[in-house]
Amino acid sequence: MPKRYDYIIIGAGIIGTSLGARLAESGKSVLILDKQGIAGGASGGNLGQISLMDRFEPWHLDLAMEAQDYYKQLQKRVPIGYRQHGGSILLMNQNQITRAEEVRALQVPRGLSMELLTPKEARNLEPGLKKEGLKAMVYCRQEGSLDPLALTFHMADTAVSNGAYIRIGETVQELVLSTQGIERVVTDKDSYQADTVINCAGGWAEQVAAMVGDELPIRSHKGTALVTQPLPPFLTTTLVGGGFLMEETGEEGSDLRVGTAICQHENGSIIIGQVTETAETDDRSMGHIGLSQMTANILNYFPDLMGVDILRAWAVSTSYSADGKPVMGYSDKVDNLFTVAGFKGAFTTAPAVADRAAKMLLRGETFIPEAVPRREHRRKQ
């Protein structure tokens, strides 16, 4: 196994593996490092939701639509569980309805389907939905879901088949600097060199940047979710709560927040989320209070799930930024450090994000400036 590469990618989530596949396909030597494993962080602990309604910026919706086209074609060749079954947002008060109408006025002219349904129409679409006090529901037929593990492992396999190396269970401990930038990447097992180091560490991206004195506006919190036994068809769409549209991006308010998110996958299992709470990045413990509140909350919406067996619950670190903006580009402090982090709901845009990042790295192209307000789009000299 070589010790020097064109690119070393830190993080084997959906962004890191997708970008690694693109760079390796171009003939570059690539090493992907991850201390936990492929999809060991947020990429392995989510609903697999493909959301479009909350992509408020034009560049963001464009990336999402491009990624969706990619998934449609990939599903014909690889079983990634992609289905375009629609997505719904449950509206419980007038503020959420007003916001939904504002978003609809914004997104429909861009080609997105958004229907505002009455409670009766909502229950016709989702017969299991029996929440009292439901005011309305927004339905987008273009949304869907996929199997996040299947997709991430496919991208990892693609990277390897294109010549990339992946080392899992290997923790980056130090980024050694020289006058030219990062000279060596030191892990708990070995040491490597690369022309460019790419930070795709998700919830750990801030810590990776700090190793070289760089600062990222990326933070992390812990998300907890669970999966049920396989059931006969129960849900038509992916459903989330009305706060999904409210542009709440920061970690403000309570240290423990319970949201509404539910999706049924191809095998019949239902993914339920999520509890979000302040925690250390490596904390994967699951609190009984959060789990009980999450299950009680979802039973308020879908009481017919009472008595269904829970097969597994998990907690993972997920990244966010205070203003909801991602970071993609070279560091303004270390010439050969490139970051791709902070893309919310990364599965919705991952293939398109990897494409843009690869073009920036390989050709010096720039991304849409408003997407990355904190980084100069400059090519490493």
CATH number of the domain enclosing 361: 3.50.50.60
In a domain, 76, yes or no: no
Final residue in a domain of this structure, among 303, 321, 339: 321
Between helices 350-363 and 58-75, what is the axis angle to 10°? 110
pLDDT in the model for residue 285:
86
Mean pLDDT by 10 residues, the chain (381 residues): 95 98 98 96 92 93 96 98 97 95 96 97 97 96 96 98 97 95 97 97 94 90 93 97 71 70 95 88 84 93 96 90 84 94 93 96 77 44 39
Query: How is the beta sheet containing 218-228 ordered, strand by strand?
Result: 115-117, 136-140, 87-91, 238-241, 256-264, 270-277, 218-228, 310-321
Regarding whether 309 and 266 lie in a shared domain, the answer is yes
**71 touches 83 (CB < 8 A):** no
Q: Is residue 69 part of a domain?
A: no
The SS3 of residue 130 is coil
What distance in Å separates the CA atoms of residue 222 and residue 276, rounded to the nearest whole number? Answer: 6
Tokens of 231: 């059931």
Contact 352, 66 (CB under 8 A): yes
Other residues' Cβ atoms within 10 Å of the Cβ of residue 263: 22
What pLDDT, on the 0 to 100 scale, is given for residue 381? 39
Same domain, 332 and 307: no
**Token match 């389907």: residue?**
113
Domain CATH number, residue 99: 3.30.9.10
Are residues 280 and 160 part of one domain? no
One domain for residues 305 and 265: yes
Global confidence as pTM: 0.92
pLDDT of residue 319: 87
Cis before 274 (ω within 30):
yes
- Say whether both 105 and 240 belong to one domain: yes
Domain that residue 298 falls in: 85-142+219-321
Q: Please count the structural domains in the chain.
A: 2
